[in-house]
Structure 1
Amino acid sequence: MQRNPLIDIGANLTHESFRPDFDAVLARARAHGVTEIVVTGASAGGSRAALELARAHPGFLHATAGVHPHHAHEYDDGTDALLRELVADPVVKAVGETGLDYFRDYSPRAAQITAFERQLSIAIDSGKPLFLHQRDAHADFIACMDAVRGRIGRAVVHCFTGERDELVDYIDRGFFIGITGWICDERRGGHLRDLVPLIPADRLLIETDAPYLLPRDLKPKPSHRRNEPMYLAHVCAAVAAARGETPEQTAVITTANATLFFAL
């Protein structure tokens, strides 16, 4: 089993599905080589909760603070002030999850762009990295990012599931790329096996996006559909296979990158 230290750069541990067995989830993660987890903040309340979890588990859990495009219609001056307060805490390692999602369109696109631009400003002002989301909104997403080019620091496009041209645009701009268990999905993730080798070694990151995206090829197949950080080693092995590396090599690379990216 993969035992090199692993860092899960994106886990939604504030999700209600983790409440009944939260301590066991963390214990299983440690047992499977996960030494640090970045807890995703995706709403005002969720970002506050992520910070509280990180404070309760110093050195093991960290947090991000942001508003996901699904919640962009809730973004107001109070939200902006809260995010700025949270981001000032050293336990919060990045601004986000923020970006654009035209696949679901749970928030009007104009509201998504506004919320995204305001969070880009927070990243500029705070100097913290960006934890980004993009789905079916590449042109507008790139336009927003290019508008602040040279003023933002590090940025990761988390849970990358896009096509080659999108990946090339991100790599050309120096973005980091987060890969999830989507690569293990034979129905819709097969193309990632061809694209992952294109990611420069110093830009590659791995994550579970738990409780979502449980790897479909786990054996034996779990009786549930909840993903959790313990499965990061499985994601690491899938990424390694696609890149022609050993899981140990991929673990070393991605852990070093995560440590640098989030200043852990």
Structure 2
Amino acid sequence: MNTDSKGARPPLVDIGVNFHSAQLASMTSPLLARAKAAGVAQILATGTSLASSRLALDLAKANPGVVFATAGVHPHGAKSHDTATFRELIELWKCPEVVAVGECGLDYNRNFSTPQAQRTAFEQQLSMAVETRKPLFLHCRDAFTDFHDMLAPVVADGARGVVHCFTGNRAEAEAFLEMGLDIGITGWVTDLQRGQALRAAVPALPLDRLHLETDAPYLFPKNSGARRGHNEPANLPWVAAGVAELMNREVDEIIQACTANSRRMFNLPGT
């Protein structure tokens, strides 16, 4: 695939990169350079804890117009979410560089935090999405029913957001879409073994509700024909290619639509 940004391909937006991860933490400058060369114009640095949310904000401030931050507590870390953490997150959500509340949600797959702790942290972050009017950057794994039930009233109150790294089936996707949420697609869509449910769902999803993301350093796209040991934003064109193939559309059409969706959802600059 030609990922030369000098071509006619429209710019990409990667809505989920874990710059704070051990695999990427020391590589920010080359990651951003390679992303730019691949046509990735804007990136959301994911905050999954108070510490990583601060780092995401610092990165956004250092790269204005290119990197933006999310701030929140991932369900894995919900057990350490307390009043002091919440107060500090409130201050982060006031910053214009922080464009979303999260990564937040429920994860009953590993239960690194108890389901009750997860629900408590999630509920507080949901309330702040309504108050701040910033979109939610959402995580759901093996917790569809509780997740859906907790989101329904806040979406009815005006909250909006993206179910990040969606790996579920068509029925779950349609339930989120009907509620008013958008869907984030990662390299999972290129996995012919684990990604079958998602691959079956994608052709039926409306293009104006989809977003592209790498979730780097995770979920390296299988269709790239190579593996470097970690994923990175420069690989986002391969995610777009995977979606385009399943939807029987041109890659540029997928990119243009998803970029417009992401810029609209997160209030990013650009046309």
Q: Distance in 2 between matches of 1:229 and 1:152?
A: 31
Corresponding residue for 1:26?
32
| Equivalent AA in structure 2 for residue 142 of structure 1 | H
Q: Distance in 2 between matches of 1:179 and 1:119?
A: 23
Aligned 8 A contact 2:190 2:221 in 1: yes
Secondary structure of 2:111's aligned partner: coil
Q: Distance in 2 between matches of 1:177 and 1:149?
A: 15
Residues 76-99 of structure 1 show CA distances to partners (whole Å, capped at 9, x for unaligned) of 101111111001000000000000
Secondary structure of 1:177's aligned partner: strand
1:162 aligns with 2:168: yes
Give the alignment partner of residue 238 of structure 2, picking from 227, 234, 240: 234
Corresponding residue for 1:225?
229
Aligned 8 A contact 2:13 2:212 in 1: yes
Q: Distance in 1 between matches of 2:233 and 2:158?
A: 29
Task: Give TM-score scaled by structure 2 length.
Answer: 0.94
Corresponding residue for 2:208?
202
| % identity of equivalent residues | 47
Corresponding residue for 2:178?
172
Shift of 1:71: 0.3
1:262 aligns with 2:249: no
For the aligned residues, what is the CA RMSD? 1.1
Secondary structure of 1:7's aligned partner: strand
Q: Distance in 2 between matches of 1:51 and 1:149?
A: 26
Secondary structure of 1:18's aligned partner: coil
Q: Distance in 2 between matches of 1:110 and 1:21?
A: 36
Aligned 8 A contact 2:12 2:259 in 1: yes
Q: Distance in 2 between matches of 1:24 and 1:178?
A: 25
Corresponding residue for 2:254?
250
Aligned 8 A contact 2:189 2:243 in 1: yes
Corresponding residue for 1:216?
222
Give the alignment partner of residue 87 of structure 2, picking from 63, 81, 86: 81
Secondary structure of 2:223's aligned partner: coil
Q: Distance in 1 between matches of 2:130 and 2:117?
A: 20
Structure 1, unmatched stretches of 5+, are none
Q: Distance in 1 between matches of 2:194 and 2:22?
A: 27
Structure 2, unmatched stretches of 5+, are 4-8
1:131 aligns with 2:137: yes
Aligned 8 A contact 1:129 1:152 in 2: no
